[in-house]
Amino acid sequence: MSGHSEEKTKTLNLIVWRQAGPDKPGRFETYIAKNITDHHSFLEMLDVVNEELIKEGKEPIVFDHDCREGICGVCSQVINGVPHGGHERTTVCQLHMRLFKDGDTIYIEPWRARAFPIIKDLMVDRGALDRIIQAGGYTSVHTGGTPDANAIPIPRPDAEYAMDAAECIGCGACVAACPNGSAMLFLGAKVSQFAALPQGQVEAAERVANMLKEMQDCGFGNCSNHYECQAACPKGISVKFIARLNREYLKSLF
């Protein structure tokens, strides 16, 4: 657009993890991103690089992306060693290039965790998070025959607490950030959401036990109180939900 045409552009040095498949060896490759403005999003910068690679007859970099507005949770890149790039409450797709300087070198890697096998380049398989939800991340209510929505008042602070937990977008940054590859922030958020609501009480004990077991079966580690998950979470999910998870688990034993 005309307003930005005279704008100064940046050139960036990208060092990107390339891996042809789950069992193939991976390596870092260097690319130059040219003509990038403050207004490019991080993924738009990668789009520009990919278009050039295609034209040169090379393989574009594979990365997951979809909504590009920070809510679908599919984008998953470790940027300069930090999942989502380390800006508060910001997913990769919401990073803008005004955060980088001309000439910067940027390292881009996929999520790394035992439970998230690499599919290709920066794309990983996060099916394990779905399996944790399948183990109990719900109330066992059928469609239809439910009471009026206002039948059970829920104190506002409880509803807000549940909503704080429910903001999780399931991106898996918490796992990628954790030295133990633990999914306890993800799990804690879901367990806490239901623990705060009357609808979640009926199956509370069963839920936490089943979900924790699934988490272990999927190959995730346990929490070791590094709090890296909270720092990396693009939705600001608090580690207090891990404490709540532990409490709910203890309660479930009695």
Scan residues 149-208 and list those touching other proteins (CB under 8 A).
149-150, 153-156, 159-160, 162-163, 166-167, 169-170, 193-194, 197, 199-200
Residue-wise over 170-201: b if at least 16 C-beta within 10 A, else e?
bbbbbbbbbebbbbbbbbbbbbbbbbbbeebe
Choices 54-62, 102-110, 220-228, 241-249; region in contact with other proteins by CB under 8 A:
54-62
Scan residues 71-100 and list those touching other proteins (CB under 8 A).
71-74, 89-90, 94, 96, 98
Convert residues 107-136 into a mask of x (bound to other proteins by CB under 8 A) and - (unbound): ------------xx--x-xxx-xx--xxx-
Please tell me whether residue 29 binds other proteins under the rule CB under 8 A.
no
Backbone CA torsion sign across 241, 91, 211, 118: negative
Nearer to other proteins, 133 or 231 (CB): 133
Q: How far is the CB of 35 from other proteins (least distance, A)?
A: 9
Amino acid at 247: R
Measure Cα distances from 185 to 140, 177, 193 in Å: 23, 11, 12
Backbone CA torsion sign across 173, 174, 180, 181: negative
With H, G, I as helix, E, B as strand and everything else as coil, classify residue 194: helix
Out of 26, 60, 86, 219, point to the residue binding other proteins (CB under 8 A). 60
Please tell me whether residue 23 binds other proteins under the rule CB under 8 A.
no
